[in-house]
Amino acid sequence: MIIGYYRPSNDDPEGRIQEKKLLEKKCTVLYKEEHSSPKRRVNLEALVAEAGQGDTVVVASLIDFADSTRQLLELLNELETKGTQFISISEGLSTSPGETYRFQEVLEHLISFQSDVISERTKKGLGEAKEKGVSTGRPRKPDENVKKAIAMYESKTYSLAEIKEKTGISKSTLYRYLER
């Protein structure tokens, strides 16, 4: 049996892109998570419990299957003990007998996978912050301090060090506001 697994992500919130790739690989059974959270991955647990000897688990990408390198290794080891093969389409990885790949290729994929994990978590965090109305990035200086710094600068009685000490506005920030 060829078993596909997918879950929503920031780039594919409905999982349609992944589903299409899995169907192209002739998956006969599909397991889809309803959320992208690493917690409560009920369908992944069901897939691992039900996969058996001679089955093949197919995912569109490693990031769709695991949330960390450690979890990926644990899942692959568990599938291997059951005699279940694994294929990741995007990375071109397969644990099928006769499939061989250089160790360097595996490391490159693992590094890319870890980068994907970090990117996915960052996008998710920024999205959640935006939904809550939290502004991201470097905090802006309060306008009162900027106005005070400009007034002090234009009075020509304060040095840049004194302006910074009294207002907290750096020389580069002050000049940036003066150029506007």
Dihedral angle computed from the Cα positions of residues 31, 34, 38 and 42, in that order, rounded to the nearest 10 degrees: -50
Determine the residue type at 77: N
The residues that are catalytic are 9
CB 5 within 8 A of CB 43: yes
Sign of CA dihedral 9, 14, 15, 21: negative
What is the helix, strand, coil percentage profile of the chain, to 5? 50, 10, 35
Give dist(CA 2, CA 47) in Å, integer: 11
Chain centre to alpha carbon of residue 10: 8
